[in-house]
Structure 1
Amino acid sequence: MMIDSHAHMEMPEFDADRKDVIARAKEAGVDAIVTIGTDLDDCFKAVEIAASFDSVYAAVGIHPHEVKKIDAQTYDQMQELAARPKVVAYGEIGLDFFKNRSPREVQIRRFGEQLELAKDLNLPIIIHDREAHRETMDLLSSWKGSRRGVIHCFSGDYAMARKCLDLGFYISIPGTVTFAKADKLRDVVSRVPAESLLVETDAPFLTPEPFRGKRNESAYVKYTAMRVAEIKGIPFEVLAEITARNACEIFKIEL
């Protein structure tokens, strides 16, 4: 059993062969995919895809790149979407100070607002953090919500991972763990208990070895899980089952 805890099946990269991509994931042993909306239109699309495929679930939220577009109606629409069947989380939300496609002060304000919305909706959160570790941890530490959720595509060091675990979050490991220069991430994987890990593709991005350079897809989460199992010194099947069970627990998925 495996779960791809973070993909973007709603993105146009999959418009030509989405059904085939989902079928290949199933053939590879991926029992569920969580597809993650990043703006309002993609959130609608993610929910529609989840409704159309038994193995797909959805998360809805406004990505930090897109928060500059939030208007008076956005959160009302997000609340409506969050109530749809098979919506299992609110996200991905957070901060991205690497590309700064939305102004930093806007990102921080909207992140706080979306944390409060997730609390009101009683949904776990999926956090995007890129080059904004301190600010992300400050906001999560001061937030009065349940702190149920996932740090997606983890890019910090073990000290940060330890703080995330202490706050109650899972750490999600992407395909970058297979890259030659990903020693910091592999150190995190070696030290974080398997019971606190998820695996993800972030498809169509971050394709793991041996397919690096090609479009990523959920079937390839197997290669991430294999590398994580190798680092932790446990059988692949055991690691796959533990991380799938973790995803089922946080997202309330029944398989």
Structure 2
Amino acid sequence: MGNHQKRREPPPPPLPLTPLIDAHTHLDACGAHDAADVRAIMDRAQAAGVLAAVTIADDLDAARWAAEAATWDPRVYAAVALHPTRADTLTDDARSALEQLASTERVVAVGETGMDLYWPGKLDGCADPSAQRESFAWHIDLAKRTGKPLMIHNRDADTEVLDVLRAEGAPETVIFHCFSSGPEMARTCVAAGWVLSLSGTVSFRNARDLREAAALIPPGQLLVETDAPFLTPHPYRGAPNEPYCLPYTVRALAEVVGRPAELLAEQSSDTARRVYGL
């Protein structure tokens, strides 16, 4: 019991590493409710060298919250979409609301959308693959119409995601958030000019294929993210994640790819600014 409780404590602040931009986080799920909460999270992040974060929506309420939260603190930006598992909530009203939110200045991407074939049959109320495909296609069109990057959630669905992108035609900028596939998928994405965002999973001991894939990503196509409060990097896996933890992931990634963490920080931040138009 004692070990379990200890593991659930937040990780200690890392040695600062800057400049970093958290390309994908969920500030609402990190416990933020209002402007003061958002500022507190970003103050902790800035103390660790994380200068900005993109907070992500996975349902309509979260999309409205994210867009508003991005106006509370200049270090925060937003992305809006319906998560693939909630694809069957894409009603006409939801489409209208997402179109309006996606057109606002502080919303810098359409996401997270895509395909998730892990949860159907395991999670009550999870959208089936056909509903996911329809929603994904609509979000692709929204990204094209707004001129904003498309942020993809892909879980156990490499073939299906690629099929939809080919059928619909990919937007100018495509980001695979929390890229977790192997080297073959990495090569396909890199060749297409897409951007791959790596999270704490790259530090997990069982992520051999992902580490091999990480070494194939050129600096100009690499982002780093926390996906907080999820995917806390080793050795704090299972503890609550937050943007301030990003240096742990970047240092783990530096060991994987054999480049200095400071260089990765600079390169990934440059890529984030260019991709998101920060």
TM-score band by shorter chain is over 0.9
Q: Paired residue for 1:10?
A: 28
The normalised TM-score by structure 1 is 0.95
Q: Could you say which residue in structure 1 is the equivalent of 2:42?
A: 22
CA offsets, 1:208-231, max 9 Å, x none? Answer: 123222110001111111111122
Give the alignment partner of residue 255 of structure 2, picking from 218, 222, 230: 230
CA distance, structure 1, for counterparts of residue 128 and residue 172 of structure 2: 25
Cα deviation for residue 97 of structure 1 reads 0.7
- 68-77 vs 12-21, which deviates more? 12-21
1:156 aligns with 2:174: no
Residue 39 (structure 1) aligned with residue 81 (structure 2): no
Identical-residue share of aligned pairs (%): 38
Does residue 58 (structure 1) correspond to residue 83 (structure 2)? The answer is: no
Residues 1-55 of structure 1 deviation map (CA, whole Å, 9 limit, x = unaligned): 1010000012263349543222100110001100011111100100111100111
Higher relative contact order (CA 8 A, sep 6+): 2
The number of residue pairs the alignment matches comes to 253
Once the two structures are superposed, residues 133-182 of structure 1 have per-residue CA deviations (whole angstroms, 9 ceiling, x without a partner) of 10001111233243412101112111111111222211111101111111
Is contact 2:54–2:77 with CA below 8 Å preserved after alignment? yes
AA in 1 matched with 2:27: M
Give the conservation status (yes or no) of the 8 Å contact 2:70–2:76. yes
Question: What is aligned with 2:9?
Answer: none
Partner of 2:225: 200
Given that residues 172 and 197 in structure 1 are in contact (C-alpha distance below 8 angstroms), is that contact kept between their aligned partners in structure 2? yes
**Partner amino acid for 2:95?**
Y
Q: Kindly tell me: are residues 165 and 143 of structure 1, through their superposed partners in 2, closer, same or farther at Cα, counting changes over 3 Å?
A: farther
2:105 maps to which of 72, 76, 85: 85
Maintained 8 Å contact 1:40/1:78: yes
After TM superposition, the structure 1 stretch with the greater mean CA deviation from structure 2, 224-233 or 39-48, is: 224-233
Task: Tell me the distance in 1 between the aligned counterparts of 2:170 and 2:215.
Answer: 29
Whichever of the two has the greater Rg, that structure is 2
Structure 2 CA distance for aligned equivalents of residues 102 and 140 of structure 1:
19
Match of 1:131 in 2: 156
Cα RMSD between the aligned structures?
Answer: 1.4
TM-score, normalised by the number of residues in structure 2: 0.87
Q: Which runs of 5+ in 1 are unaligned?
A: none
Match of 2:169 in 1: 144
Following the alignment from structure 1 to structure 2, what is the Cα–Cα distance between the partners of residues 78 and 9? 19
- Decide whether the 8 Å contact of 1:10 with 1:49 is kept in 2: no
Residue 62 of structure 2 aligns to which amino acid in structure 1? D
How far apart, in 1, do the equivalents of 2:140 and 2:163 lie? 13
Shift in CA distance, 227/102, structure 1 to aligned 2, threshold 3 Å: same
Give the Cα–Cα distance (whole angstroms) in 2 for the partners of residues 146 and 209 of structure 1.
Answer: 34
Alpha-carbon displacement from aligned partner over 1:185-233 (angstroms, at most 9, x marks no partner): 1111122222221111000100112322211000111111111112222
Gap regions ≥5 residues in structure 2 = 1-18, 121-125
8 Å contact kept, 2:150–2:171 = no
CA distance in 2: counterparts of 1:98 and 1:144, whole angstroms = 25
Say if 1:164 and 1:147 are closer, same or farther in 2 by CA, change over 3 A. farther
Map of 1:160-179 to 2, 5 A cutoff?
160-179=185-204
Q: Distance in 1 between matches of 2:39 and 2:236?
A: 20
